[in-house]
Amino acid sequence: MVSQKILSKLRKCVEDYDMLREGDTVAVGLSGGKDSLVTLASLKKLSEFYPEHFTVKAISIGLTRDMSAYDGMEEFCRELGVEYIRIPTDIETVVFEKRNEKHPCSLCANMRRGALNRAASAAGCNKVALGHHADDAAETFLLSLFFEGRLSCFQPVTELTRTGVTVIRPMLYATESEMRSEAKKLPAPVVKNPCPANGNTRRQETKELLRTLGSRYGALREKITGAIARLPLPGWEKHPRSLRLREKGTGKGEENR
């Protein structure tokens, strides 16, 4: 269902940053977009042969009480053999009507993350997997630089003491174009982004700027993500445990099928 190339990138990221341990239960935040679909399918496949055994679940957080747009996700999860949980919310009403935010992305993202982490904890999950990829990391770095004057980015692994879950981003070695290509192969409909501000955000501006500059200065995204890892920014230090797992070699036969 997913390619060997994407699985290899997933596994290397997981091991470089010590994302998975024996007995973990991982909730994938399933928005229905291409990135979350590929993340779910890839982690489920990895769970079938990875030496550290873990379980995968999927959780969708709705912006409204109407979750009908996610009906196709239920069938996709059933085909994967993954438990699926849907959580309706009033996030859209709070962000766009009650608060009438001029730049709604930050508040909306915080509310969605909070709802996802609480739902994951209630479902018995100790890890939450998000579908952020290399392009997301480069864009976030530039957003922090342009709008906050900081050299900052989200971390591959973030421990949340309030909810007791750990957030992981196992697709950071994949590019957006690779995620898009993988999503086309999956037997699941991509859910259209329901956000009223979709396509008119600072992130979208930064994405377009990065695309424009990238066409002029080759491999710009790779240079930015490489700089993040080489500094490294806090939380981007690679974990020595990855060497032990690679030496262990368990599961390589299944991975290479």
Q: If DSSP codes are grouped into helix, strand and coil, which group holds residue 160?
A: strand
**What CA–CA distance (Å, rounded) separates 234 from 104?**
27
pLDDT at 105: 76
pLDDT at 247: 59
pLDDT at 242: 57
Q: Are 183 and 174 in contact (CB under 8 A)?
A: no
pLDDT at 225: 95
**What CA–CA distance (Å, rounded) separates 193 from 202?**
16
pLDDT at 123: 97
pLDDT at 162: 84
Q: How many residues does the chain have?
A: 257
pLDDT at 244: 55
Q: pLDDT per position in the chain (257 positions), as tens? A: 899 999 999 999 999 999 999 999 999 999 999 999 999 999 999 999 999 999 999 999 998 898 988 999 999 999 999 999 999 999 988 888 787 767 677 788 889 999 999 999 999 999 999 999 999 999 999 999 999 999 999 999 999 988 889 999 999 999 999 999 999 999 988 887 766 666 678 888 999 999 999 999 989 999 999 999 999 999 999 886 655 555 555 444 444 33
**What CA–CA distance (Å, rounded) separates 140 from 121?**
27
Helix axis angle, 176-185 to 4-16, nearest 10°: 130
Region for 59 from its dihedrals, namely left if φ exceeds 0, alpha if ψ lies in -120 to 50, beta otherwise: beta
Helix axis angle, 34-47 to 176-185, nearest 10°: 70
Say how far residue 86 (Cα) sits from the centre of its chain.
17
φ, ψ (nearest 5 deg) of residue 145: -70, -50
**What CA–CA distance (Å, rounded) separates 116 from 59?**
7
**What CA–CA distance (Å, rounded) separates 30 from 133?**
15
Which tokens hold the place of 166?
Answer: 């750990």
Place of tokens 């790779």: 222
Q: Is 240 exposed, middle or buried (0-12, 13-18, 19+ CB in 10 A)?
A: exposed
Tell me the sheet residues that pair with 229.
Answer: none
Radius of gyration of the chain (CA): 18
Domains and their CATH numbers in the chain:
4-255 (3.40.50.620)
Helix (H) or strand (E) holding 24: strand 24-29
**What CA–CA distance (Å, rounded) separates 239 from 92?**
39
